[in-house]
Every structure is written in structure tokens, then in C-alpha cells.
Amino acid sequence: MTAPGAAFGGPLLEVRGLVKRFGGGGGLFGVGGPEIRAVDGVDLVVGRGEIVGLVGESGSGKTTLGRTILRLTEPDDGSIRFDGIDVRALGSRDLRRLRRRMQIVFQDPGAALNPRMRVKSLVGEPLVIHGVARGRDLEERVAALLAEVGLERDAMHRWPHEFSGGQKQRIGIARALALRPDFLVCDEPVSALDVSVQAQIVNLLVELQRRHGMAYLFIAHDLALVAHLCDRIAVMYLGRIVEEGPAAALAARPLHPYTQALFASSPPPDPEIARRLRMPIPGEVPSPSDLPPGCRFHPRCPIATDRCRAEPPVLRELTAGHRAACHRSEELLGGATLFPRDASSSPTSGPGSTGRSTRGPEPASP
């Protein structure tokens, strides 16, 4: 069995059996409603300096998982260990110290920046809170951080509303980098941006990761981007990891029907090919408050059997480091294709698109 993160000098982050529930318990006038397990028994490992992609449809629990790992949302069960430290056991003071090493870049840069604070205060606030810098030293550190993300020194004296979406995200990244963290959760950092600037932000994140050796949990919808950028990929569906493995192996041969469906539903770059071959995932995502028995994907799966409808599959290793939670993964391992996709749309069809050995910046947008 290949241990995740082993190629990167061992795990930096280890998550075991993590659970986060919302709702339930009724309440006054029925407030609370049915219980929703947004994260339901997730195991996840991120190695030192490794980029792990987390993908899935909206509502799969990706953002909740990222926030719960950082304890921005409190978990209900399971364990979180960061560099050997039991994160769930920390009190507020010790947790604040650990936050120097664990940071997040949010999806919506506009909402993440306080409109009443100038950029100098926004980027410098972590340095002040943790007693790292003040006065002239603070100003020089903020200027250096802004330069690192491609912004001019005079940006520190301006307000957030004076910047474009891409520039706001650069400010958010500078703020996240202020304390030189070891681990960064990137929560769909380009999905709220114009297509013309998405590649620029991805290139910036790649360069910063190379320069500082940080580990990333990169949350995204775009499987092609994740396969290009990341060392490993974890696929999430209705609160659970259904497949996880090296980016190149998972992109070349997905071993869960849901992962195949995600790849097949990603549009190829050629609009004519996209019109003919793009295949939406069949059916609707079940309500997280009324989950189907057995495999949660079985209502939408073309190869579901009676066993799939009754018995939840476990995440098991099928090839070196490649795990899937499907009763019929051996058939997919043998080459079965449930959701055909055109070769030109495959994230493995071009150079620099299949993991650490060839990972590079995205091509610049026109």
C-alpha cells in the first residue's frame, strides 16, 4: 500500500474520519431542519510541499472540508493532525499560534476584504496580531508582500474598491502569505474571476508554491486545471471522498463512475467538439438531508447493481496510491468507459499537464 504524501517527506496534514453536521435537532418553530452531513467521515493526507486538488460538484462539501480542517468551522467528529499537532485539542491561544502556519485564500476576493480598511492594514493585520512587525518595518514588509504578488508599493494606500477582481485576489494572497505559512487552503481561488485573469492567478500560485515550498489544498470545479496543477487529486461527492490518487493516474484512468462523469462533462477547448461530445452528468444530486442508501452515486450511475443500492462501498487501493470507493472499480480498471470524452479535452493530452514532474504555469490568457 502506498501512503499518501510519502513522496514528499511524509504527511504535513492528516485528517481521519472527519465529520461536520449542520441542522438537525428541530428548535423553535422548527428552525434547524433535518441533519445534513456536509463532511461525512473524510480521510485526507497532504504531504509537505504537496499540492492536493479537491474536486466535486457544488454542494459536495469541498469548502466545508477546507474550513473545518482550519477550524474556521468546528468539526463534530474525527481527527486533524498538522505536523503531528492535534488541532482539535488546541485552545484558542494555541490555535492562533498554529494559524501562522495554516492560511486560506477565499473564493470571492471582494467579500474577503474589509472595505473599511486600506490595503496596508489588510495585508499587515496578521503581522500586527502576531507581533511580527510594526511601524516602518511593517510598511516595508507589506510593500515586499505586494511586490511578490505583482502589485506596486503605492497599492498599500488604496481601498479595496479601487482594484479589479484579479488585483483583489492578489491582495488576498499577499495577506495569506504574510506569516509565511506551510499550508494554504485555496478555496476555488479563480472561479469568481474573469477568464482573462484566471491563468494569471494560477501562474502566481504555482510560482509562490515553488518559491516557498508550501503545501496546498486546492479546491476547484475545473478537473483539467486540477490535473495540470496538482500532485494528487481527491474527488468528493455528497460529503465523502469517492476517489483519490496521483493526478496523472487519475486523469488517465478514473476508477469511479462519478470521476469519469466529471471528466466527460468538462467542455473540450474546441466549441464544435464540445457541442457534439460534452455529456452532462445524468440525474440530479440527491438532497444531502435525504441521502440514498448504499453508494450515494447509485441513482445516477449507469452500472449500479443491487449491491450498490444496498451496501456502501469503502475507499480501497486498486493500484499504487490510487483509491476508489466503488464496487465495480475493477471493471473500470480494465478499461471500461461509461462516459466517453474526446482525447483533445483530456488533461493528459498536452505537455505539462500530469503532475509534479511536468507541472508548470498555465498558458497566459489572450
Residue type, 90: L
Report H helices in the chain: 62-69, 92-98, 109-112, 119-129, 135-148, 165-177, 195-212, 223-229, 247-252, 257-265, 271-277, 306-310, 329-333
Given a cut of 90, whether residue 362 has pLDDT beyond it is no
Position 332 scores a pLDDT of 87
Given a cut of 90, whether residue 333 has pLDDT beyond it is no
Segment 88-111 mean pLDDT: 94
333: left (phi over 0), alpha (psi -120 to 50) or beta: alpha
For residue 280 the three cell numbers come to 452532462
State residue 105 phi and psi, 5-degree precision. -110, 120
Q: What angle do CA 276, 278, 283 make, to 5 degrees?
A: 125
281-309 per-residue burial string, b: 16 or more CB within 10 A, e: under 16: beeebbebeeeeebbbbbbbbeebeeebe
| Least confident interval from 52-56, 103-107, 195-199, 295-299 | 195-199
When pLDDT is cut at 50, 70 and 90, the band that residue 47 belongs to is: very high
Q: What percent of the chain has pLDDT over 90?
A: 70
- 8 Å CB contact between 350 and 363: no
226 or 270, higher pLDDT: 226
- 8 Å CB contact between 17 and 272: no
pLDDT tens by residue, 125-142: 999 999 999 999 999 999
State residue 316 phi and psi, 5-degree precision. -135, 150
Domains of the chain, CATH where assigned: 12-26+33-101+181-345 (3.40.50.300)
Given a cut of 90, whether residue 100 has pLDDT beyond it is yes
- Strand 36-47: give its sheet, edge to edge: 36-47, 11-22, 77-82, 85-86
| Least confident interval from 104-118, 135-149, 280-294 | 280-294
When pLDDT is cut at 50, 70 and 90, the band that residue 268 belongs to is: low
Query: Within its chain, how far is the Cα of 323 from the centroid?
Result: 18
Q: What is the pTM of this model?
A: 0.87
228 or 151, higher pLDDT: 151
241 or 353, higher pLDDT: 241
When pLDDT is cut at 50, 70 and 90, the band that residue 337 belongs to is: confident
Place of cell 518595518: 137
91 or 266, higher pLDDT: 91
SS (H, E, C) 55-101: ECCCCCCHHHHHHHHCCCCCCCEEEEEECCEEHHHCCHHHHHHHCCC
Counting beta carbons within 10 angstroms of the beta carbon of residue 334, is it exposed (0 to 12), middle (13 to 18) or buried (19 or more)? exposed
| Least confident interval from 174-188, 274-288, 311-325 | 274-288
Closest CA to 185 of 321, 51, 89, 279: 51
Position 120 scores a pLDDT of 97
| Least confident interval from 115-119, 190-194, 243-247, 312-316 | 190-194
Averaged pLDDT score across all residues of the chain: 87
